[in-house]
A and B are shown apart, each in its own frame.
Chain A
């Protein structure tokens, strides 16, 4: 089983601060996805990274896939209260069939 270790588990910051969330594994992933989930809602796909070393930007969010495709990071610049939510990284399990394996998530709270 491929495991994704996500850190930190909880993060409480003030509006305007920067933060980084990490997603690490000892296994190589063909791709990794990042999701954001708000309470009472299903996760929403933010981005998929595929190429080692790839960097993708989504407004104030910057996603990076490690060169070895074993880790990924999400950096948020100037966080806003609307960024509050559970951030999940996920990747396909090994064996060829796409069964998403999720990290345990990072619960982010941005205080006004």
Chain B
């Protein structure tokens, strides 16, 4: 099946710093990628839809200035958490649409201290 690679798998950063997470589709082109946030033992919460060559579409309640998304190529989308705070600590997952469904990255565990 299609492979989506997410990097890094985990990151610890200081409060106030920014963190960039990369999501790559390795064997297919993805014009659309999705970014999710997941709390322990809960389902995935869609944060935004990343569109290649255009602005991302954010879900209601998600701060676009805090969670910067860039989809500069057909195989790469990045999520930058700016001025991170402890409440931003979470598991972030990207996915890309490919037949017959969506394929997910491995996830990034972000811990802000």
Instruction: Report chain B residues within 8 Å CB of A104.
Output: 42-43
Q: Is the CB of A43 within 8 A of B109?
A: no
Q: Is the CB of A100 within 8 A of B95?
A: yes
Q: Is the CB of B107 within 8 A of A42?
A: yes
Q: Is the CB of A41 within 8 A of B106?
A: yes
Query: In the complex, what's the smallest C-beta–C-beta distance from B73 to chain A, in angstroms?
Result: 20
Query: In the complex, what's the smallest C-beta–C-beta distance from B10 to chain A, in angstroms?
Result: 8
- Contact of A102 with B43 at beta-carbon distance under 8 Å, contacts A42-B93, A45-B103 already known: yes
Interface residues of A in 9-50 (CB under 8 A from B): 31, 33, 35, 40-45, 48, 50
Range of interface residues on A (Cβ < 8 Å): 20 to 34
- Contact of A42 with B43 at beta-carbon distance under 8 Å, contacts A48-B100, A99-B34 already known: no
Interface residues of B in 88-113 (CB under 8 A from A): 91, 93, 95, 97, 100-107, 109
Interface residues of B in 57-103 (CB under 8 A from A): 91, 93, 95, 97, 100-103
Q: Please tell me if B46 contacts chain A, counting CB pairs below 8 Å.
A: yes
CB < 8 Å neighbour of A43 from B1, B41, B42, B104: B104
Residues of B within 8 A of A (CB): 1, 4, 6, 32, 34, 41-44, 46, 49, 91, 93, 95, 97, 100-107, 109
Residues of A within 8 A of B (CB): 31, 33, 35, 40-45, 48, 50, 86, 88, 90, 97-100, 102-105, 107
